[in-house]
Amino acid sequence: MHTYLQTARVTLRRFAADDADLLIELDSDPAVMRFLSGGAPTDPDEIRDVVLPSILAGYDRWHGERGLFAAYENAGGAFIGWFCLRPERDGPVDEVELGYRLRRAAWGHGYATEVASALVEKAFTELDVRVVWGATMAVNHASQHVMEKVGMTVTRTLETPEDMLGVERSDLGGFQYEITREQWARRTAEAGSSSVPRSVSP
């Protein structure tokens, strides 16, 4: 099976044509869908007929370098959700969205930050990406925290899409976060220099 990315605890692989049940189960949890649909599950037929075929087509469109990938725990191999690193459908390939959706059992373990950080690094060091961006609702503080931990900052506010108006506090809108290749390089260099012991005069 094609491995897209591997961190200390998580491996990302391409979805396969027979993986619809993984996505259906993920989207059936009201807690997972809380900030996406107000808790309503995604229709299984939509996943089989639209969502999964679109994911698979993305691997061909972006030559396997970008897309939405299934996430598995290295210890035990459990499916924990997905992460994406992909352009908008008709957008420039050097501007990619970072996103994720995790099963409730995978929450609170730091997986989102661990994998998101590795994806940002991959984007800027291997894929010639110029900007990584992500969008989240104003009430989704956990998602905001992840983006901030990987160095992304708010660049603009967003109106709530019509299909998300049923989400709690949708009137607050959302935020778009971004980090550029230059910002990431500077942040990485600063983090490296701060880890070097400073000489101390006697």
pLDDT, tens digit only, all 202 positions of the chain: 689 999 999 999 999 999 999 999 999 999 999 888 889 999 999 999 999 999 999 999 999 999 999 999 999 999 999 999 999 988 999 999 999 999 999 999 999 999 999 999 999 999 999 999 999 999 899 999 999 999 999 999 998 877 776 677 878 889 999 999 999 999 999 988 654 443 333 3
The residues near 129 (Cβ < 8 Å, ≥ 6 apart) are 94, 95, 96, 123, 181
pLDDT digits (tens, 9 = 90+) for 88-138: 988 999 999 999 999 999 999 999 999 999 999 999 999 999 999 999 999
Question: Amino acid letter at 123?
Answer: A
pTM of the model: 0.91
What is the pLDDT at residue 197?
41
Measure the CA–CA gap between 12 and 82, rounded to whole angstroms: 8
DSSP E strands, 54-112: 67-73, 79-86, 95-102
| Cα distance between residue 156 and residue 90, in whole Å | 21
Sequence-distant (6+) residues with CB within 8 A of 29 are: 41, 103, 104
Measured distance CA(26)–CA(31) in Å, rounded = 10
Residues found in the chain: 202
